[in-house]
Chains A and B, each alone.
Chain A
Amino acid sequence: MDTFRRVLGWLRPYRKKLAICIVLLFAMTAFRMIVPYITQAVVNDVLPNRNMTLLLQLCALLIVMTALRSLMMYKRGMLIEEVSQSVVYDLRTGLYGHMQELSYAFYDTHHIGEIMSRMTGDIEGVRVLVVNGVVGMLESLLMFVLSLIGMSLMSWRLTLLMLCFCPAVALVATKLHGKIRPAHMAVREQNAVLNTRTQENISGVRVVKAFAREEYEKQAFATENNKVLQFNLVVTRLWSTFFPLMDTIAGLATPVLILAGAVLMHRGEIDIGTLVGATGFVWMLIAPMRQVASFVNLITNGLVSSEKLIYYLDLGSKVRNPENPEKPARREGRVDISHVTFKYGDKEILSDIDLHVEPGQVIAVMGATGSGKTTLVTMLGRYYDVAEGSVSVDGVDIRRQNLHDLRDSIGVVMQETFLFSETIANNIRFGRPDAPQDAVEAAARAAQAEEFILQTPQGYDTVVGERGMGLSGGQKQRVALARAILYNPSILVLDDATSAVDMETEAEIQKALGRVMKGRTTFIIAHRISSVRKADQIIVLDHGRIAERGSHRELLRQNGLYASIYRDQTRDFVTAEKAGEQE
């Protein structure tokens, strides 16, 4: 019921149009009731004395009425489409806007495919609910009631007889509804499984081929494909039983009417014109009854879809803008992380992290896979909220800052690079859409990306991303780096940003970064000592805690984790040096 109220709420802005729609609906249905009376008049009044004047009048009436009714039909059709399209538009725009605000936590737990099906399938469900469900049912209801009245004015006895069909139709309809819904759901679910199966097979094609698992994949697909078939056949069986059954029951109404009409005529209670007119009412009466099942189906489906949409709409972002945001006096890149603990579900990812960074400092974060490095830096832009402690940027707790302002001052190069299906220039420009071309090129140069960009077919105008040219991992990282450089943030976060580039290029990038990092606070996550050793502070994370901290030299002196990593990595160079000396 709550869901229904919400759906009505979506319709509220368009209540005027809906009201006109209902009036039109009423008028056109009423007009339709006149047709059987015209038939009755033709048989009873025209035929006995071949009254041509009356016939012409009746025909004119029929044409005028139908033409008027057609006009109204068109108008009401367009009105309801306008309303439903507006509702769909509102929902889509609203939902999409909402998606922009939801925090990482949402995207960690929801598949893109699932969100997509909400934004397409379920919104379509709501559209159908509005057009065919709500208005369609109203139309059928009006038709039923008005033809009941119309027919009983002609002959109440025949009307009563026709009413006897109601319970039978209703019974079949409810039976069908109870069974067909789970069947439809099963098909839908299984289709989703098949979808996932196919998608994974194709995305993972290199793995499939590398392990020569084609036959296994074919069989796995066949299993799911066959399940889809079986579930579909269940639906088929239901339809092929119930649908013809309803049809047959409704079809029986006419012979019954004829037989009863004959009996009544025999007893002189009705005349032939009334019987012929009544046949005109039979279909108007039966048609709404036959549609009961599909309405119930439509409405339940529509409400299920609405429910899912409401779940998304009500999913308040856990990370919200404060009511009265505070603005730091200056955006200079001071960061204070005080006793921060962060939990993901029940799992503690960060424990009691304490880190204070002066503007312009370089902070290196090291640690084993899964030790919380990435999580720590995502705290800065408030992509998650901390469980305990606080994060302040430029002296103000980030929970009291305007999110957009905060994130505007932080540039991130992520571990997994994502490029949009856009030109390279527009990808670099992503955070600053109005940046001029020379600024884009300068950023690309700083990221050591210009050389390979100029080698692509259309240079900066080459389209990349899923629908464009494929770039290698190292090339993607450099474009992402250029994107962050152009963004010109006061805090720069590099999350394993050069892991896929070769040694020589990395050395070049390092050099360029030295210039870029000047005047900004920089966080670097890296595994190579060469990338971190110049940092002002190096912290080593171990299971979510800061195990070691200090400068390169201090950490070497501590002779702990960092020092052992250093030894591992420099051994190569020591050997290399020796080899060089022997020469």
Chain B
Amino acid sequence: MTRLRNLDDEELEAPFDRKQFFRLLSYLKPYRRQMAIALTLMIVASGASLVSPYLMSRAIGMLTAGDYTDIPYVFLGMILAVVVGGVCLSLRVKTMDVSGRKAIATLRQDLFDHIQSLSLPFFDSRSAGKIMVRVINDVNSLNDLFTGGIINVIVDCLTLVLLVIIMLAINWKLTLLAMASLIILFLIITSLKTRMRRAWQVVRMKTSTMNGYLHESLSGMRVTQTFVREDLNKEIFDETNQDIKKSWLRAVGINNLFWPYIDTLSAFSTAAVYIVGVLLMGPVGAVNALSLADLLAILWYLGRFWEPINNVSNFYNSILTAMASMERIFEIMDTKPQVFDKRDDLPELPPIRGAITFDHVSFGYDPEQPVLEDVSFTVQPGQTIALVGPTGAGKSTIVSLISRFYDVTDGSLKIDGYDVRDVKLQSLRRQMSVMLQDSFIFSGTILDNIRYGRLDATEEEVIEAAKAVHAHDFIEKLPKGYRTEVNERGSTLSTGQKQLISFARALLNDPRVLILDEATSSIDTHTEMLIQKALEVLLQNRTSFVIAHRLSTIRRADRIMVVQDHAIAESGTHEELMTLPDGLYRSLCEAQYRFMEDESAAEA
């Protein structure tokens, strides 16, 4: 199925990159002290846990000798070791977890903050879902590494060294014998783990493919039902689902080999230690020979080897997985915003009067393909400009440049004589309102949504704005009025109603420059008329740009500009443009007019 192939899978692993790794570690820097404490606590804890087998074997030694006097001390010593170990563990988990989680939260905030500073081209080239995965999943996947992974692996290595030293001190011959099996074990583990990692990688890839398919097919469920595609969808889903099951069983098949191997191997090494141990003990009553206590101690310590070895080999895998997330996070953090304040000391843009000048402006999203070429025009303060032209001619691009969503590639754009690049970006945008074709509704109440235009607006002001754009009537009729909860996909609101809300939002902002980008296309004629009336009042003393397809909207403009072939082809009032013999605008109008004409003829 082609659809499945179009789901691009994310890289799940990346080779170890020291620079990136240390950059990540720098997030733990503020917690250096806590980390040092945690490390110390862990060393103490692992030391304490290593004391127990030794004390136990001593107790056995005393008991075989029939010497009971020191047993209470051994008992107390063991209790002490357990309690110290427990307390250290508790403190360690606390310090490490708190530091790790705080570092994660900081990393996430940094990432989010950086994303806020990025310009539209970044968002144009990525789906919202992909950015989401960075902020949520990729950051989460570093959790284990931060909250313990790094410290644990250090301690595990230390424990292994300590274990070997203690065992060597007790009996070096038996220790070497035991070590031989450990080397085999180590080889088995490493080869298994590599295969395991690859197999699980396949599982994750298949799962992410399934999730992608699932997300899209659920989003398009209405279309699916309309076109009766359910059965085909089920087939596709079934296929991905089968894939997951198969790959999972393959992966888990390798996974499940792990403990059987270890158990069998440890049985062999236990048997070997028993046999050699008994041989080393020599005949009954031999002097300077191996004691039962030492034999048991070696056996007990041997049992403690498997876990740290397992942990250390897991760590390598988790580092590789984390590396991939890390790379994706830093890739975003290293993306420079394309539109930004050149210097920190740029002046604020004073209150706009609204004179806008395009001075030989050229622009292209892709340098190879210009959208605008050498466009020049001037707009007087307070004028309403309508932009007309075929889809894709560059109308939206012109208005995007005014609020500096993109920077011009050539020429300059001035507002009241200020080049938009020479003033603070925020001071520019704060004085403008843009209303887009797809009106976006945040989840929250309607009140909050309108207030987004001016955060400190009172409820009265919000209602006033809603009244001005004729949204008040329908809002009042909703179950909870202005406090009705709505959301992005909200089916509580019709497309037209969403547009009215975003109108109110823009109005509340009280902008000096107002841009309506096909904002009224889904509003019925009646409502649009009302809005027109409201806007006529509101547009006074404001410069505004209107992109619309409807003549009724367009003809009220002070000036109409026809955008075609990367440039302004015609410019003038409705009346002026209608007088151009072969004018584009005129032919656009006449196309619509023809519908009416034969009707009038029929009526006459």
Interface size on A, residues (CB 8 A): 178
Q: Which of B3-11, B13-21, B177-185, B320-328 contacts A (4 or more CB under 8 A)?
A: B3-11
A62 touches B267 (CB 8 A): yes
Type the 1/0 row for A74-110, where 1 means its CB is closer than 8 Å to any CB of B. 1001100110011011001100110111001001100
What residues on B are CB-neighbors of A196 within 8 Å? 443
Tell me whether A436 is interfacial, beta carbon within 8 Å.
no
A to B contact number (C-beta, < 8 Å): 461
- Are A66 and B525 in contact, with the CB atoms below 8 A? no
**Residue contact A421 to B391, C-beta cutoff 8 Å:** no
Say yes or no for A115: interface residue by CB 8 A criterion. yes
Given the contacts A62-B271, A418-B220, A255 and B82 also touching, CB distance less than 8 Å: yes
Chain B interface secondary structure, helix, strand, loop or mixed? helix
Contact call A85/B245, Cβ cutoff below 8 A: yes
* Interface SS of A by simple majority: helix
Chain B residues within an 8 Å CB radius of A420: 3, 216-217, 220, 223
CA distance A247 to B84 in the complex (A): 11
Given the interface pairs A74-B256, A112-B215, A244-B86, the reply to whether A474 lies near B228 with Cβ below 8 Å is no
Across the interface, do A421 and B75 meet the contact criterion of CB distance under 8 Å?
Answer: no
Asked whether any CB of chain B lies closer than 8 Å to the CB of A20, the reply is no
A218 and B93 contacting across the interface, CB-CB below 8 Å: no
Is B593 in contact with A233, judged by CB distance below 8 angstroms? no
Chain B residue nearest to A216 (CB atoms) is: B455
Contacting pair A572 B551 (CB below 8 A): yes
Q: Point out the residues of chain B lying under 8 angstroms from A97, CB to CB.
A: 230, 234
- Asked if A412 is an interface residue, CB under 8 A from chain B, the answer is yes
Instruction: Compute how far the CA of A438 lies from the CA of B216 in the bound complex, rounded to whole angstroms.
Output: 27
Residue ID in chain B nearest A258 by CB atoms: B59
Inter-chain contact A199/B132, CB cutoff 8 Å: yes
Q: Which residues in window 586-604 of B have CB below 8 A to A? A: 586-596, 599, 602-603
How close is A242's CB to chain B, nearest CB, in angstroms? 9
Identify the interface centre among A63, A216, A244: most chain B CB within 10 Å of its CB.
Answer: A244
A198-B132, A225-B109 known; A416 and B495 CB under 8 Å?
A: yes
Once the chains are docked, how many angstroms separate the CA of A225 from the CA of B110? 11
Taken residue by residue from 90 to 109, chain B's Cβ proximity to chain A (1 for < 8 Å, 0 otherwise) reads as 11011001100110110011
**B216 and A369 contacting across the interface, CB-CB below 8 Å:** no
- Determine the residue in chain A with the shortest Cβ distance to B595: A530
Pairwise interchain contact A100-B241, C-beta atoms closer than 8 A: no
| CB contact between A116 and one of B218, B284, B455, B474 (< 8 Å): that residue | B218
A2: min CB distance to chain B, Å: 27
> Closest approach, in angstroms, between the C-beta of B189 and any C-beta of chain A?
15
B121 to chain A, nearest CB (A): 11
Partner of B98, one of A120, A216, A236: A236
Confirm or deny: B153 has a beta carbon within 8 angstroms of a beta carbon on chain A. no
Interface residues of A in 30-56 (CB under 8 A from B): 42-43, 46-50, 52, 55-56
B51-93 CB contacts (< 8 Å) to partner A: 52, 56, 59-60, 63-64, 68, 71-72, 74-75, 78-79, 82-83, 85-87, 89-91, 93
Task: Tell me the count of chain B residues lying within 8 A, CB to CB, of chain A.
Answer: 173
Say if the beta carbon of B288 comes within 8 Å of chain A.
no
B191 at interface (Cβ–Cβ under 8 A)? Answer: no
What is the distance, in angstroms, from A484's C-beta to the closest C-beta of chain B? Answer: 8
Best-surrounded residue of A60, A430, A582 (most CB of chain B within 10 A) = A430
Residue B175 at the A interface, CB < 8 A?
A: no
Task: Report B163 CB to chain A, min CB distance, Å.
Answer: 18
Residue B460 at the chain A interface, CB threshold 8 Å: no
User: Does A276 touch B at the CB level, under 8 Å?
Assistant: yes
Interface residue A465 (Cβ < 8 Å from any Cβ of B)? yes
Name which of A327-335, A385-393, A562-570 contacts chain B.
Answer: A562-570
Flag whether A279 is at the interface (Cβ < 8 A): yes
A5 in the interface, Cβ–Cβ < 8 Å? no
Interface string of A202-233 (1 = CB under 8 A from B): 11111111111110111001100110110011
Residue-by-residue, is B466-507 near A (CB-CB < 8 Å gives 1, otherwise 0)? Answer: 000000001000010000000111010011110010100100
Q: Does B578 contact A576, Cβ atoms closer than 8 Å?
A: yes
Smallest CB-CB separation from B236: which chain A residue? A96
Is B229 in contact with A200, judged by CB distance below 8 angstroms?
A: no
Report A-chain residues with C-beta under 8 Å of the C-beta of B442.
200, 204, 207
Cα distance, A500 to B495, chains bound together (Å)? 13
Complex CA–CA separation, A108 to B500 (angstroms) = 21
Which A residues from 106 to 135 make CB contacts under 8 A with B? Answer: 107-108, 111-112, 115-116, 119-120
A499 to chain B: which residues have CB within 8 Å? 521-522
A579, B443: Cβ atoms closer than 8 Å: no
Query: Contact: A212 with B429, CB < 8 Å?
Result: yes
| Cross-chain contact A244 with B87 (CB below 8 angstroms) | yes
Give B252-284 interface residues, CB cut-off 8 Å to A: 252-253, 256-257, 259-261, 263-264, 266-268, 270-271, 274-275, 278, 281, 283-284
CA distance A459 to B68 in the complex (A): 91
Given contacts A48-B284, A426-B2, A466-B129, contact A407 B228 (CB under 8 A): yes
In the bound complex, CA of A261 to CA of B56 (Å): 12
Please tell me which stretch of A152-160, A288-296, A350-358, A502-510 contacts chain B, meaning at least 4 of its Cβ atoms lie within 8 angstroms of it: A502-510
A496 touches B575 (CB 8 A): no
The answer to whether A47 touches B223 (Cβ under 8 A) is no
Question: Closest CB of chain B to A414's CB: distance in Å?
Answer: 7
| Segment with Cβ contacts to A, from B25-33, B413-421, B431-439 | B431-439
Provide the bound-state CA to CA distance between A365 and B275, in Å.
Answer: 94
Q: Name A59's contact: one of B60, B275, B455, B603 (CB within 8 Å).
A: B275
At the interface, yes or no: B128 with Cβ under 8 Å from chain A? yes
Considering the complex, give the chain B residue whose CB is closest to the CB of A88.
B245
Q: Do B443 and A81 have beta carbons less than 8 Å apart?
A: no
Residue-wise, chain A 555-583 has the 8 Å CB interface mask toward B (1 for contact) of: 01000010011001111110111011011
Does A515 sit within 8 A of B, measured CB to CB?
Answer: no
- Count chain A CB atoms within 10 A of each CB in B256, B529, B579 and give the residue with the most: B256
Q: Are A221 and B112 in contact (CB under 8 A)?
A: yes
Residue contact B3 to A577, C-beta cutoff 8 Å: no
In the complex, whether B392 has a CB less than 8 A from a CB of chain A is yes
**A116 vs B219: C-alpha distance when bound (angstroms):** 10
Known: A47-B281, A472-B392. A120 touches B260 (CB 8 A): no
How many whole Å from B479's CB to the nearest CB in chain A?
Answer: 8
Contacts of B496 in A (CB 8 A): 369-370
Is B249's beta carbon under 8 Å from chain A?
yes
Question: Given A407-B228, A422-B3, A99–B221 Cβ distance below 8 Å?
Answer: yes
How distant is the Cα of A203 from the Cα of B116 in the complex, in angstroms? 12
CB pair A221–B109 under 8 Å, yes or no, is yes
A252 sits at the interface (CB 8 A): yes
Residue B389 contacts which of A496, A502, A528, A561 (CB distance < 8 angstroms)? A502
9 extra interchain contacts, Cβ-Cβ under 8 A, other than A206-B434, A416-B495, A552-B599?
A78-B256, A100-B230, A205-B123, A212-B426, A222-B109, A433-B229, A528-B525, A576-B574, A577-B593
- Supply 11 A–B pairs (Cβ within 8 Å), ascending by A: A55-B278, A67-B267, A100-B233, A116-B214, A240-B97, A241-B90, A251-B82, A430-B229, A507-B591, A530-B595, A568-B526
